[in-house]
């Protein structure tokens, strides 16, 4: 009998210590990492008022009156700001299609959605502000009976869309898909529904705003785009041209900088996942602070994040696949209807992966959007692609069954050797290796492929797989690298840390290029006073900011080498600059002569070497198709009586070019697969169809995966050389883990039970309904 004290499981070995861990990691585990909500009055010159938002309880109509008399008499209250007394803001343009591009806060009495911010209460303490906010009375006109909140009751709002996501075509027509589908030997025609769900980052939206005596504005908040936020503030508050859109253009085109009056400091984001760019609180705190003349902190409550921050909107997709006798796809037809807000331009790019996943001579995509009376949906991890692949990969599973092919074999037969929608050669593609590695790891070949055939310990067992694909994109970025007299380097670029590990990965790129130890390089980031670092979106930060850093660091290195060989005081004097190596902070000549970078720089006449680089101005335009690929393999068990679904194993294999830091990338991949599991089985933001209110605005009812939901999860990283795609060789792996995972789970549930679930999340009540209807 085992000793009761024995630990029955062993921890996996920690990754090798030679792989750098997060540079900000000690601060994070010691509670010293600073997030926007952590900013105290001490850091703000002794004054920091607290704001609490008052939100609409109905989704339409007008505010008739805001009665703040009682609130204003309460202790510590400084201000109640509403449309009745708020300064007028100037219309802005949101580059990300955010709601505030169409709907500025507190400007008029019209109500656009439930949970809209109607007033802000500012007080000296959180308790005072909260109590006063509860005492603000709002009177409303009758709600609009025509208001619509779901796609099922869109009331004729559905319209074709020209563009989705960041500019992908809303309509795609390659070949003649309809006739090809009609005459195909095998046909699959399925419709999929996906529920809205929210990011629910652990850190809610938060912002601190302070106006200075010269009319300048400093805003600190978690954001994925500090420059974008600065421009929005500059536009909304009527600053001069130097603080408006030309600021971005001048930075991207020429790295030009001016003396700006708006400064945005991106704090560490406590999770973001697409949800922390250009939200309404960006404007609310500065608006209140302008009126009080004192710094203001606003932190949203968890419930408020449901309406004052974006989410992934509801979608419907019909997928039709036509294949010939050999299982070769002849037609892919996607018809999607996507929820959007009445304000906000964002439409889910559901087609992004669909047009690139498989070789098919005929592809037809028809996307429509319906503007609903809800707060606007927005970008969320794996936007579009994860929904598109849920539908396409579920349909592929059914096609495999119809054709009698193994699901993996079907995918291999339809492997896209070139980029399907453009015909371009891929820069690199290691999807087949991903399939092989994932299949081997989970034991794909050992399963009984017959539906509902496997059992373990009384539970039904099923295996499923899916293809993952995520496009490689590059955005413009500017980086400045400064090698100082002490041989230490400072790297500057205003990109953002949202938990992905940007600080560490970019510091590694700089250190490696400069030939310095990691500890000799310090990254300055997130502050719009630094060079333009781009948006932290689309898994493209390492490539976008990394390319600029690499180029600037290469220039610094070249300048250093050229100078040192001409410096008579250097032991390297007279050596050919081209022959020198720099590593671990030492310059080394082929003949063995060497000098520490710090020793050389101590003599440098300028005291430092400064170089700046701008990259990505063509937005990553390439003669090649560029994408990261992967595959998920899943084992589920289903209780035959309760229909409880448990993911027993989740294996993903991914190839995304060069991996700067395998520890961080593995964490990103695992985290995104956890997101896929949550999307598959748990996540749904419930709407009251009568009132348009989000109903489960808390973390007990809006389920996200917990530790107990995650059993055996593995990410395999496949080596891949993508220097043909970009000299840095990086593709980006932050989101691909969610793309495909929900389909792999759906396919595993089908294999286990014979029930095909086509609606996310796949809860056991849906499985029960499917069984009863079978």
Partner 1 sequence: MDNATGFSNAALPITLTINGAEQRLAVEPRTTLLDLLRETLHLTGTKKGCDHGQCGACTVLVDGQRRVSCLALACAHDGASITTIEGLGTDDELHPVQQAFLDYDAYQCGYCTPGQICSAVGLLQEGHARTRNEIRELMSGNLCRCGAYANISDAILSVLSQQETV
Locate all alpha helices (DSSP H) within 536-691, ordered by sequence: 541-566, 597-602, 662-681
- In the block, which residue shows the tokens 């006063």? 132
**Binding status of residue 123 toward partner 1 by CB under 8 A:** no
| Distance of closest approach, residue 585 Cβ to partner 1, in angstroms | 24
**Which residue of 73, 581, 644, 771 would you call a contact of partner 1, by CB under 8 A?**
73
Cβ nearer to partner 1, comparing 124 with 425:
124
Identify any residues that bridge with 227 across adjacent strands, giving them in sequence order: none
Measure the CA–CA gap between 216 and 124, rounded to whole angstroms: 23
| Distance of closest approach, residue 203 Cβ to partner 1, in angstroms | 4
Within 713-752, which residues bind partner 1 (CB under 8 A)?
713
Contacts with partner 1: how many residues (CB under 8 A)? Answer: 82
Q: Which stretch binds partner 1 (CB under 8 A): 11-19, 251-259, 384-392, 684-692?
A: 11-19
| Distance of closest approach, residue 634 Cβ to partner 1, in angstroms | 15
Greatest CA separation for the chain: 87
What is the 8-class DSSP label of residue 605? Answer: T
For residue 27, give Cα distances in angstroms to 34, 44, 478, 519, 631. 8, 21, 27, 16, 35
**Which residue of 155, 706, 723, 768 would you call a contact of partner 1, by CB under 8 A?**
706
- The residue among 67, 75, 93, 81 whose CA lies nearest residue 286 is 81
Measure the CA–CA gap between 184 and 326, rounded to whole angstroms: 11
Within 602-661, which residues bind partner 1 (CB under 8 A)?
none
Cβ nearer to partner 1, comparing 127 with 721:
127
- The residue among 714, 713, 737 whose CA lies nearest residue 655 is 737
Q: Which stretch binds partner 1 (CB under 8 A): 280-288, 535-543, 614-622, 698-706?
A: 698-706
**Binding status of residue 695 toward partner 1 by CB under 8 A:** no
**Binding status of residue 272 toward partner 1 by CB under 8 A:** yes
Does a cis peptide bond (omega within 30 degrees of 0) precede residue 761?
A: yes
- The residue among 473, 348, 507 whose CA lies nearest residue 22 is 507
| Distance of closest approach, residue 497 Cβ to partner 1, in angstroms | 8
Query: What is the dihedral sign for C-alpha 193, 197, 199, 201?
Result: negative
**Binding status of residue 24 toward partner 1 by CB under 8 A:** yes
**Binding status of residue 72 toward partner 1 by CB under 8 A:** no
| Distance of closest approach, residue 239 Cβ to partner 1, in angstroms | 31
**Binding status of residue 441 toward partner 1 by CB under 8 A:** no
**Which residue of 30, 623, 773, 774 would you call a contact of partner 1, by CB under 8 A?**
30
Main-chain phi, psi angles of 380, to 5 degrees: -150, 145
- In the block, which residue shows the tokens 């003396």? 259
Query: What's the token pair of residue 359?
Result: 């070789």
**Which residue of 699, 723, 727, 768 would you call a contact of partner 1, by CB under 8 A?**
699
Measure the CA–CA gap between 190 and 398, rounded to whole angstroms: 9
Residue 51 near residue 121 (C-beta atoms within 8 A):
yes
Within 197-256, which residues bind partner 1 (CB under 8 A)?
199-204
**Which residue of 23, 498, 651, 744 would you call a contact of partner 1, by CB under 8 A?**
498
Cβ nearer to partner 1, comparing 170 with 378:
378
**Which residue of 23, 37, 387, 597 would you call a contact of partner 1, by CB under 8 A?**
37
**Binding status of residue 18 toward partner 1 by CB under 8 A:** no
| Distance of closest approach, residue 498 Cβ to partner 1, in angstroms | 6
Cβ nearer to partner 1, comparing 137 with 189:
137
Cβ nearer to partner 1, comparing 372 with 673:
673
- The residue among 99, 221, 275 whose CA lies nearest residue 685 is 275
| Distance of closest approach, residue 382 Cβ to partner 1, in angstroms | 13
**Binding status of residue 175 toward partner 1 by CB under 8 A:** no
**Which residue of 594, 667, 686, 759 would you call a contact of partner 1, by CB under 8 A?**
667
Query: What's the token pair of residue 381?
Result: 């991890």
**Which residue of 710, 724, 759, 766 would you call a contact of partner 1, by CB under 8 A?**
710
**Which residue of 100, 117, 299, 408 would you call a contact of partner 1, by CB under 8 A?**
299
Cβ nearer to partner 1, comparing 708 with 772:
708
CB burial of 242-274 (b: ≥16 within 10 Å; e: otherwise) equals ebbebbbebbbeebeeeebbbbbbbbbbbbbbb
| Distance of closest approach, residue 689 Cβ to partner 1, in angstroms | 25
**Binding status of residue 394 toward partner 1 by CB under 8 A:** no
**Which residue of 186, 211, 470, 675 would you call a contact of partner 1, by CB under 8 A?**
675
What is the 8-class DSSP label of residue 257? Answer: -
**Binding status of residue 146 toward partner 1 by CB under 8 A:** no
Q: Which stretch binds partner 1 (CB under 8 A): 311-319, 539-547, 631-639, 662-670?
A: 662-670
Q: Which stretch binds partner 1 (CB under 8 A): 138-146, 242-250, 669-677, 761-769?
A: 669-677
**Which residue of 29, 64, 249, 569 would you call a contact of partner 1, by CB under 8 A?**
29
CB burial of 646-664 (b: ≥16 within 10 Å; e: otherwise) equals ebbbbbbbbbbbbbbbebb
Residues 6 or more apart in contact with residue 635 via CB below 8 angstroms: 442, 461, 462, 463, 647, 648, 649, 748
Query: What is the dihedral sign for C-alpha 470, 471, 476, 477?
Result: positive
Q: Which stretch binds partner 1 (CB under 8 A): 26-34, 57-65, 152-160, 437-445?
A: 26-34
Burial label for 208, CB within 10 Å (0-12, 13-18, 19+), is buried
| Distance of closest approach, residue 276 Cβ to partner 1, in angstroms | 11
**Which residue of 1, 31, 417, 457 would you call a contact of partner 1, by CB under 8 A?**
31
Main-chain phi, psi angles of 550, to 5 degrees: -60, -45
Identify any residues that bridge with 238 across adjacent strands, giving them in sequence order: none
């Amino acid at each position: 009998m085992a000793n009761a004290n024995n630990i029955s499981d062993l921890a996996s070995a920690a990754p090798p210590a030679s792989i750098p861990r997060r540079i900000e990691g000690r601060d994070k585990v010691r509670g010293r990492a600073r997030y926007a909500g952590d900013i105290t009055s001490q850091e703000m010159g002794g004054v920091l008022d607290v704001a609490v938002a008052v939100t609409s309880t109905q989704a339409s109509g007008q505010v008739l009156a805001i009665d703040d008399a009682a609130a204003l008499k309460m202790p510590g209250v400084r201000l109640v700001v509403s449309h009745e007394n708020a300064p007028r803001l100037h219309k802005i343009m949101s580059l990300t299609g955010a709601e505030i591009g169409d709907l500025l806060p507190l400007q008029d009495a019209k109500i656009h959605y439930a949970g809209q911010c109607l007033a802000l209460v500012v007080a000296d303490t959180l308790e005072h502000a909260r109590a006063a906010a509860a005492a603000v009375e709002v009177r409303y006109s009758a709600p609009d009976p025509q208001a619509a909140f779901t796609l099922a009751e869109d009331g004729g709002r559905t319209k074709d869309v020209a563009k989705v996501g960041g500019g992908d075509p809303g309509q795609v027509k390659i070949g003649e898909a309809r006739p090809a589908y009609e005459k195909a030997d095998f046909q699959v025609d399925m419709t999929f529904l996906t529920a809205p769900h929210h990011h629910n980052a652990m850190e809610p939206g938060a912002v601190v705003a302070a106006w200075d005596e010269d009319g300048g504005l400093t805003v600190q908040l978690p954001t994925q785009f500090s420059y974008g936020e600065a421009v929005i503030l500059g536009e909304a508050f009527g600053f001069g041209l130097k603080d408006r859109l030309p600021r971005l253009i001048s930075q991207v085109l020429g790295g030009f900088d001016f003396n700006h009056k708006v400064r945005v400091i991106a704090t560490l984001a406590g999770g973001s996942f697409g949800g922390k760019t250009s939200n309404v609180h960006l404007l609310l705190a500065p608006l209140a602070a302008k009126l009080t003349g004192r710094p203001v902190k606003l932190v949203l409550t968890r419930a408020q994040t449901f309406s004052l921050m974006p989410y992934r909107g509801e979608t419907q997709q019909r997928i039709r696949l036509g294949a010939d006798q050999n299982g070769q796809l002849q037609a892919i037809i996607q018809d999607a209807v996507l929820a959007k807000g009445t304000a906000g331009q964002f439409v889910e790019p559901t087609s992004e992966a669909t047009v690139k996943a498989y070789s098919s001579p005929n592809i037809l995509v028809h996307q429509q959007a319906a503007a609903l009376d809800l707060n606007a949906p927005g970008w969320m991890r794996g936007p579009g692609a994860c929904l598109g692949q849920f539908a396409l990969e579920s349909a592929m599973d059914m096609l495999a069954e119809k054709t009698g092919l193994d699901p993996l074999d079907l995918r291999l037969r339809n492997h896209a050797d070139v980029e399907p929608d453009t015909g371009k050669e891929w820069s690199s593609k290691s999807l087949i290796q991903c399939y092989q590695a994932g299949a081997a790891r989970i034991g794909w070949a050992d399963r009984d492929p017959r539906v509902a055939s496997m059992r373990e310990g009384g539970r039904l067992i099923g295996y499923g797989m899916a293809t993952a694909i995520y496009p490689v994109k590059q955005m413009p970025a500017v980086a400045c690298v400064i090698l100082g007299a002490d041989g230490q380097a400072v790297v500057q670029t205003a990109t953002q840390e949202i938990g992905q590990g940007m600080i560490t990965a970019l510091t590694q790129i700089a250190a490696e290029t400069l030939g310095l130890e990691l500890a000799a390089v310090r990254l300055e980031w997130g502050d719009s006073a630094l060079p333009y670092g781009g948006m932290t979106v689309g898994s493209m930060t390492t490539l976008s900011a990394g390319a600029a850093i690499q180029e600037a660091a290469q220039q610094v290195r070249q300048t250093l080498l050229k100078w040192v060989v001409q410096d008579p005081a250097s032991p390297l004097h007279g050596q050919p600059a081209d022959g020198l190596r720099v590593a671990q902070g030492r310059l080394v000549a082929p003949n063995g002569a060497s000098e520490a970078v710090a020793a050389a720089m101590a003599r440098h006449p300028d005291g430092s070497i400064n170089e700046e680089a701008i990259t990505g101005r063509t937005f990553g335009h390439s003669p090649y198709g560029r994408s990261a690929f992967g595959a998920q393999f899943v084992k589920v068990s289903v209780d035959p009586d309760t229909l409880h679904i448990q993911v027993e194993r989740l294996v993903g294999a991914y190839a995304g070019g060069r991996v700067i830091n395998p520890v961080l990338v593995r964490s990103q991949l695992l985290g995104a697969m956890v997101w896929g599991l949550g999307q598959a089985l748990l996540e749904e933001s419930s709407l009251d169809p009568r009132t348009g209110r989000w109903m489960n605005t808390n973390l007990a009812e809006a389920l996200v995966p917990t530790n107990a939901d995650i059993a055996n999860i593995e990410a395999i990283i496949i080596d891949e050389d993508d220097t043909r795609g970009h000299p840095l060789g990086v593709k980006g792996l932050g989101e691909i883990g969610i793309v495909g995972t929900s389909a792999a789970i759906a396919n595993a549930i089908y294999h286990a039970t014979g029930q095909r679930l086509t609606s996310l999340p796949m809860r056991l009540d849906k499985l029960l309904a499917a069984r009863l209807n079978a």
